[in-house]
Amino acid sequence: MDKDTVNLSVVIPAYNEENTIEATLYNINEYFEKQNIIFEIVVVDDGSCDETSSKVKSIAKKLNSVKLVSYKENKGKGEAISQGVLVAKGEFILFSDADLSTPISEIEKFMPYLANGYDIVIGSRRVMDSQITRKQPFPRRLSGKVFQMLVRTILHLPFSDTQCGFKLFRGSIAKKLFAELKHKGFVFDVEIIYRAVKSGYRIKEIGVIWANDPTTTVRFLRDSFKCFVELIQIRFQN
């Protein structure tokens, strides 16, 4: 195998994750060191105002797998993942939340689908085989259902959960999709999936283990009108 070959890139968007990022990186590194693959972990610091970048730089001196991309302005999760995807070298690219709401070992469920011809595998909290170990508060669960209803109504996407932060792509396809990303905030997942469907890529949705992060700053109800407008834009701009 060529020394520059990377089988898997794990892209982690991080915003003010100084309290969680160290454990996350060691967890991911330990897991993949036990697998027979060459991997890298690309952390994108999305304009954090804490010590996220400093912690990642320190860890990168100890773990050769860890790479850091950082910039000063907070631009949104979609932009952070785009930046990570575009520098990633992996044949396959996974993006995962910095708090590992979905355990990294769940990727074991995903890889067989890519081996069998799928191009993208998306984690889901709303299909039969999903397992929620810590639920969201009721208002967030309700807003999530309303959002998915809008996604189905406006974009006719046949998926139960477009927003779970655990998705695996063929690397070349991820680069094509994220290079043209227009919406960098909450709806970026929807844009990527919508464009992937229109491009004819095969997508599989499977259930994952997932635990709610009570510190999340995403508030669909607060930004509901903006999200609605962006879904309309996705429908007519792509």
Residue 139: predicted pLDDT: 78
pTM for this prediction: 0.93
Q: How far apart are CA 149 and CA 104, in angstroms?
A: 28
CATH superfamily membership of 6-237: Spore Coat Polysaccharide Biosynthesis Protein SpsA; Chain A (3.90.550.10)
Whether the pLDDT of residue 100 is over 90: the answer is yes
- Per-residue pLDDT of 26-38, as tens digits, reads 999 999 999 989 9
CA-CA distance, 88 to 67, in Å (whole number)? 9
Mean pLDDT of the chain: 93
Asked if residue 61 lies in contact with residue 107, where contact means CB atoms within 8 angstroms, the answer is no
Q: Which residue has the higher pLDDT, 186 or 62?
A: 62
Q: Is the pLDDT of residue 144 over 50?
A: yes
Say if residue 89's pLDDT is above 70.
yes
CA distances from 32 to 15, 17, 35, 36, 115 (A): 24, 22, 5, 8, 18
What pLDDT does residue 145 have? 87
DSSP 12-38: EEESS-TTTHHHHHHHHHHHHHTSSS-
Per-residue model confidence (pLDDT) at position 2? 45
Structure tokens at 65: 């797998």
